[in-house]
């Protein structure tokens, strides 16, 4: 029997019996480069903490990176200001599509718009990994298809789950400028 402790704002904490299902460890990337990006990430982390059937278990430091896009001429700076990024680990009983739906709801609440590819964002939440699952659908691809190309994903992921990122993978993105910002308020 699996028991998940739920915390709902304004209500007492309760245990929820989910039968024989086991929670899945999932990793979510967070990024923002419009408005008060640090506040947007703090609010997103608070919202992730409140997701149903989900517990936030680890939060990386906050990182600052330049926006990137990959085109025919290779990797180059994308339009917009620098991003603030982080990665969180959750234990969830939500399916991967349900988790994605909840994350998109958080994005929308933060004013996320998608006017064009690689547009600056008030908030971007991506499912990086969902247990050991491989998922390819029109809505979701897991593992995230570009995570191994991005320092802003691999560096914070390596901070909270070092066994998931190799030294060679980190070396492959070492040319991408990334700066760790010490912000203990993001800790789970």
Active-site residue, selected from the candidate residues 112, 146, 150, 183: 112
Q: Whose CA is closest to 59, among 70, 73, 74, 48? A: 48
Residues 54, 99: contact at Cβ < 8 Å?
yes
- 112 a catalytic residue: yes
d(CA 105, CA 142): 19
Which one from 114, 124, 146, 150 is the annotated catalytic residue?
124
**Cβ atoms of 184 and 159 closer than 8 Å:** no
- Cβ contact 121:40 at 8 Å: no
Burial class (CB in 10 A: 0-12, 13-18, 19+), 174: exposed
Active site residue 7: no
Q: Which position among 21, 121, 146, 180 bears the catalytic label?
A: 121
Which of the residues 7, 42, 126, 180 is marked catalytic?
126
Distance CA 5, CA 55 (A): 8
Q: Which residues are catalytic?
A: 112, 121, 124, 126
């Amino acid at each position: 029997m699996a028991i998940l402790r739920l915390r709902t704002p304004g209500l007492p904490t309760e245990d929820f019996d989910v039968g024989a299902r086991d929670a899945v460890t999932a990793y979510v990337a967070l990024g923002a480069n419009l408005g008060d990006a640090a506040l947007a990430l703090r609010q997103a982390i608070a919202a992730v903490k409140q997701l149903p059937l989900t517990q936030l278990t680890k939060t990386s430091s906050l990182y600052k990176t330049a926006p990137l896009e990959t085109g025919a001429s290779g990797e180059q700076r994308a339009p917009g200001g620098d991003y603030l990024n982080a990665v969180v680990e959750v234990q969830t009983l939500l399916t991967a599509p349900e988790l994605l739906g909840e994350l998109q709801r958080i994005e929308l609440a933060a004013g996320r718009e998608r006017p064009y590819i690689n547009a600056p964002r008030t908030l971007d939440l991506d499912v990086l990994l969902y247990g050991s699952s491989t998922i390819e659908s029109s809505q979701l691809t897991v593992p995230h298809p570009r995570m191994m190309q991005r320092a802003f994903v691999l560096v914070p992921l390596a901070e909270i789950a070092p066994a998931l990122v190799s030294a060679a993978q980190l070396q492959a993105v070492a040319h991408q400028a990334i700066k760790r910002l010490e912000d203990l308020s993001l800790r789970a």
